[in-house]
Amino acid sequence: MMEETGSRPLDALNAARNKTVMIELKNGFSYIGKLKAFDIHINIVLHEAEEHHNGEVRRKLGTVFIRGDTITIISPS
Amino acid sequence: MMEETGSRPLDALNAARNKTVMIELKNGFSYIGKLKAFDIHINIVLHEAEEHHNGEVRRKLGTVFIRGDTITIISPS
Amino acid sequence: MMEETGSRPLDALNAARNKTVMIELKNGFSYIGKLKAFDIHINIVLHEAEEHHNGEVRRKLGTVFIRGDTITIISPS
Amino acid sequence: MMEETGSRPLDALNAARNKTVMIELKNGFSYIGKLKAFDIHINIVLHEAEEHHNGEVRRKLGTVFIRGDTITIISPS
Amino acid sequence: MMEETGSRPLDALNAARNKTVMIELKNGFSYIGKLKAFDIHINIVLHEAEEHHNGEVRRKLGTVFIRGDTITIISPS
Amino acid sequence: MMEETGSRPLDALNAARNKTVMIELKNGFSYIGKLKAFDIHINIVLHEAEEHHNGEVRRKLGTVFIRGDTITIISPS
Amino acid sequence: MMEETGSRPLDALNAARNKTVMIELKNGFSYIGKLKAFDIHINIVLHEAEEHHNGEVRRKLGTVFIRGDTITIISPS
C-alpha cells in the first residue's frame, strides 16, 4: 500500500489513492480515512474519515478536506 | 454531500457549494454555515454562519469570510 | 450586507465596501469599521475603526491598515 | 491623514507618506514615526521613530526598517 | 553515505536515496527509514520507517510521507 | 546614517551599507555590526558583529549571515 | 573566513564553502561543521557536523542537511 512507482513523493500519494491512510496535523489531531484526492499543496480529501486525538476516536466525519499546510505526516493506517 | 466528482481536493469543495459545512481554524474556533464561495487559497465565504468554541455556539455571524491560511479542516456538518 | 454577487470570496469583500465590518486577528484583537479597500492578500483598510479586545473597545483608531496574513475572519458587524 | 485616493490598501499607505503613523508588530512592540518608504511586502521605513511597549516609550530609534511580515496594523498616530 | 556529488543541498539527498536516514521535525518527533523519494519542497517518502520521540521508538509506520515544511534536519542514521 | 535616497525601503538599507546597524530577531536576540550585504529577502551579512540578549553582549561573532525571515527591525546603532 | 567578495549575502556563504561554520536554528539547536552546499532557500549541507544544545555537544552527526526555513544565523565557528 502506498508503494511509489516513481521517485517523487507525490507518486507515493497517488499509489495510496482509495486506500486507508492516517494523516497527522501540526495541532496533534489525526484523521484516518480513504484517500480520495490530493494536490501539489498536499491539500487532501478523505472519505469515511475518523478524527483521532490522544489515541481515541473523537468524531466520525465522513468526508473531510484537510488543508495541506497543517499536515506533518501521511502514512498507511 | 461534498462528494467529489473528480480527483482534486477543490472538486470536493465545489460539490459542497450551497451546502452546510463545518470549518475548523488553527485557533480552535469553528464555523458552521452554507458554503457560498472559495478560491485556490481556500479563502471561504459562509452564509448563515455560527461561530462555535469548546462545543458551544458563541455567535451568529450571518455572512463570514474566512482567510484560508487559518483553516485546518472542512467537513460537511 | 456583504452579499456576494459571484462565486469568489473576494466578491463578498467587494460587496461589503463602504459598509461596517468586523475583522478578527490571529492575536485576539478585532477591528470594527468601514471597509474602504482590500487586495488579493486580504490587506484591508478600514475607516472610523475601533479596536476591540476581550469584548471591550480599546481604542478609536480612525483609519487603520490591517496586514492580510494576521486576519482570521471578516464579517458584517 | 492617510486618506486613500483610490480603492487599494497601498493607496492608503501612500497617502500617509511623510506623516506620523503607529505600526504594531506581532511581538507586541509598536513604533511611532514618520512614514518614509514602503513596498508591496509592507516593509516599512520610519524616520524619527520611537519604540513603544506596554504603553511606554522604550527607545528613540531615529530611522528604523520594519520587516513587513512582522506587522499587524498601521494607523495614523 | 549521503555524500554529495555536486555543490547543491539536494545532491546530498539524492546521494542518500535508498539509504537509511534520520529526519527530525519541528514538533520534536523524528523518523528513521529508507529514503525513497524527495522533491524541491523537501517533501520526503521513507520506507520501513520508525517514529521516535524522546529517544524511544513510538511506532513502526512502514511507508511515510513527510511534508517538507515540518522538517528541521535530515541526516544519515 | 541610513538616509534613504529614494522612496523604497531597500534604499534605506543600501544607504546603511558599511555602517553600524542593530538587527533584532523574532527570538529576542539582536545583532550589532557593520552592514555588508543584503538582498530582497532581507537576508543580511554583518561584519564585526556582536550578539546581544537582554541588554548584554553575549558573543562576538565576527561575520554573521542572518536569515531575513527571522528579522523584525533594522536600525542604526 | 566567510569574507564576501561581492555585495550579496549568498556571496558570503559561498566564501565559507569547505570552512567550519556554526548554524543556529529557531528551535535553539545549533550545528557546527564544514559548509559543503547551500541554495537560495538557505538549505544547507554540513560535513563532520556536531549538534549542540545549551552549550554542550549533543551528537556527532557526520553529514547533515538543514532546511533553510529553520535557520536564524550562520557564522564562522
Q: Which of C28, C19, C20 is nearest to C55 (CA)?
A: C28
- Does E3 sit within 8 Å of G63, measured CB to CB? yes
Is A9-76 a domain of CATH 2.40.10.480? Answer: no
pLDDT confidence band for F77 (50 / 70 / 90):
confident
Judge contact between E68 and G70, C-beta under 8 A. no
Question: Which H/E stretch holds residue C62?
Answer: strand C56-66
pLDDT digits (tens, 9 = 90+) for B23-67: 999 999 999 999 999 999 999 999 999 999 998 999 999 999 999
Asked if D3 is an interface residue toward chain C (Cβ–Cβ < 8 A), one would say yes
Q: What is the pLDDT of residue B76?
A: 86
Residues C8, B36: C-beta atoms closer than 8 Å: no
Residue-wise pLDDT for C19-41, tens only, equals 999 999 999 999 999 999 999 99
CA nearest to G63 within chain E: E75
* pLDDT, position G10: 95
Does D58 contact chain F (CB < 8 Å)? no
Check F72 against D64: CB less than 8 A apart: no
Among the partner-chain residues F38, F39, F63, the one whose CB lies closest to the CB of G76 is F63
Distance from the D67 Cα atom to the nearest Cα atom in chain F, whole angstroms: 5
The helix (run of H) or strand (run of E) holding residue E14 is helix E9-15
Return the sign of the alpha-carbon dihedral for residues B9, B10, B11, B17: positive
ipTM > 0.95? no
Q: Please, how many CA atoms are within 13 Å of residue E31, restricted to the half-sphere of its CB?
A: 30
Instruction: State whether residue G46 sits within 8 Å of chain E by CB.
Output: no
CATH of F18-76, one of 2.30.30.100, 1.20.1250.20, 1.25.40.10, 1.10.150.20: 2.30.30.100
C-alpha cell belonging to residue D41: 511586502
Residue C73: which pLDDT band, with cuts at 50, 70 and 90? very high
Q: Using the beta-carbon criterion (under 8 Å), do G72 and F25 form an inter-chain contact?
A: yes
- Chain E contact present for G66, CB below 8 A: yes
Q: What is the mean pLDDT of residues D49-62?
A: 95
The terminus-to-terminus CA distance of chain G in angstroms comes to 10
Contact partners, residue C63, CB within 8 Å, separation at least 6: C36, C45, C46, C47, C49, D1, D2, D3, D12, D75, D76
pLDDT for the residue A64: 98
- Asked if pLDDT for residue F1 goes beyond 70, the answer is no
pLDDT for C5 equals 42
Cβ distance of G12 and F37 shorter than 8 Å: yes
The span from the CA of A17 to the CA of A14, in Å, is 5
The residue-averaged pLDDT of F21-29 equals 97
DSSP D6-50: SSSHHHHHHHTTTSEEEEEETTS-EEEEEEEEE-TT--EEEEEEE
pLDDT tens digits, one per residue of A20-64:
999 999 999 999 999 999 999 999 999 999 999 998 999 999 999
Minimum CA–CA partner of A72 in chain E: E67
- Is the model more confident about G4 or about D38? D38
What is the DSSP code (8-state) at residue E47?
Answer: E
Q: Which residues of F touch D44 (CB under 8 A)?
A: 9
What pLDDT sits at residue G5? Answer: 42
